[in-house]
Structure 1
Amino acid sequence: MPPVPLAVTTSTKVDDVQIQEARTVAERWGLPFLRRRAKEGVAPWLGTKTDALIVVGGDGVTLWEPEGSFGFSAGMAHLRRMRLRAGEPDTFVKVAELSPGDSVLDCTLGLGQDSLVASLAVGPSGRVVGLEKSLALCVVVAEGLRRYERGADSCAVDVLHADAHAHLKTLPSQSFDVVFFDPMFAKPKKAQPAFEVLRRFAEHAPLTPEALEEGRRVARRWVVVKGARYTDDLRKLGLTAEPLSRFSDVAWGRIAAASRS
């Protein structure tokens, strides 16, 4: 039998509670569950039983593949949320003009960093939906967000396993205040090994003008696009980078919703 593309198992410290939690994760995402004996290594499973593995443990959910592993971390989003709570500005919140009660569609969930920041900016009365095409990344980030203690001042991030270009076409016009795209940078800087695992699973297709126009149809206010300062990605889409810090490697562009043109 060829290996399955993705499966779920437990960490080495196996108990009934953890087994049930891992089974629940497997059922939630329609994945096979592989029973693991105490202290049994999973390296021999990769490439034989499964191509990649979601490991559910006491310390969270981790994606394993033959060349490394990757686990969810709030990372910089946690720091950005702390600064936002302290009244400091956040670039995404500023460019998108996010306010309490807004709805945000994050078409490229990735690590979930900007969605986490948006969930605080729009507050408990707002709505944030994140789309992720890669099932493996979707499971890790969605389960990580589920376990993250966001606080009563933030809404939950609803994660959908979906191709953003196709999903946008199914949505009514003006159904979100802000539509956000953060395509994977074409020219990555040096990164930690865990991020290289993420890049191998992430969607690398560039944002197309057609998808941008669908985003404008779905948005009520803005479509916001994050790009890399060292590329011409924004210019190719007809966007001009916002006048922000010249020391940042990130460029931000936005275009008004179709209804406002």
Structure 2
Amino acid sequence: MAPIPLAVTTSTKVDADQIREARAVASRWGLPFLPRRPKEGIAPWFGVKADALLVVGGDGVTLWDGEGSFGFHAGMAHLRRMRVRDGEPDAFVRVAELRPGDSVLDCTLGLAQDALVASLMVGPSGRVVGLEKSLALSVVAGEGLRRYELGPDSGPIEVVHADAREYLKTLPSGAFDVVFFDPMFAKPKKAQPAFEVLRRFAEHAPLTAETLAEGRRVARRWVVVKGARYSDDLKKLGLEPEPGSRFTDVIWGRLGPFP
């Protein structure tokens, strides 16, 4: 039999609570659950039982394949949220003009770094929806956010496993205040091994003019696109970088809605 593309299992410290949680994760995302004996290694499973595994343990859900692993970590988003709370500027907040009560559609959720910042800015009266085409990344982000304490000053983040190009077509015009795209950079810089695992599962298709136009139809205020200073990704879409720091590799472009 061919290996399962993606399955859920437990960590090596198997107990009844962990098995229940792993089965619940599998049920929430429509994935098979593979039982694991205590201290049983998963390396022999790859290419035989499964191509990739979501391992449920005390530290949350970790994605493994035959070459490495990574899990959800708020990382820089947590630091950005702390800075925003202290009144410091944030480039995404500035370009998108995020405000309390806004609805934000993040079309490329990844590990929800910008969605976490948006959640703080829109507040409990706002809404953030994150789309992620990769089922594996959807589970890592969704389960990670279930365990992350947003706080009473933040709005909910809804994770949807969907292709943004198709999802946008199902929405009425003006459905969200801000539509956001953060395509995977075509020319990656050197990164940690865990990020290389993420890249293997992430969507690599470039943002197209057609999808950008759908975003403009759905947005009430801005469509925001994140790009890399060392690429011509924004230029290809007819976007001019917004003014910003020359000390960062990240640039931002935006377009208003269609008249």
- What's the counterpart of residue 189 of structure 1? 189
- What's the counterpart of residue 226 of structure 1? 226
The alpha-carbon deviation at position 111 of structure 1 amounts to 1.5
1:115 is paired with a residue whose SS is helix
- What's the counterpart of residue 84 of structure 1? 84
Is residue 2:94 matched to residue 1:71?
no
Equivalences for residues 1-261 of structure 1 within 5 A: 1-258=1-258, 261=259
State the distance in 2 between where 1:94 and 1:131 align: 22
Post-superposition CA distance 1:19-56 (Å, at most 9, x none): 00000000000000001111111111111000000000
State the distance in 1 between where 2:158 and 2:174 align: 19
1:88 is paired with a residue whose SS is coil
State the distance in 1 between where 2:45 and 2:136 align: 16
State the distance in 1 between where 2:93 and 2:222 align: 12
The alpha-carbon deviation at position 241 of structure 1 amounts to 0.2
Letter in 1 for 2:49: K
The alpha-carbon deviation at position 213 of structure 1 amounts to 0.3
Identity within the alignment, %:
79
Flag structure 2 segments of 5+ consecutive residues without an equivalent.
none
State the distance in 2 between where 1:153 and 1:36 align: 40
State the distance in 2 between where 1:141 and 1:47 align: 24
The alpha-carbon deviation at position 176 of structure 1 amounts to 0.2
State the distance in 1 between where 2:23 and 2:111 align: 23
1:179 is paired with a residue whose SS is strand
State the distance in 1 between where 2:9 and 2:69 align: 14
State the distance in 2 between where 1:143 and 1:122 align: 21
Letter in 1 for 2:180: F
The RMSD of aligned alpha carbons is 0.6
The alpha-carbon deviation at position 155 of structure 1 amounts to 1.3
State the distance in 1 between where 2:156 and 2:63 align: 22
The alpha-carbon deviation at position 156 of structure 1 amounts to 1.7
Letter in 2 for 1:148: Y
2:252 is paired with a residue whose SS is strand
Flag structure 1 segments of 5+ consecutive residues without an equivalent.
none
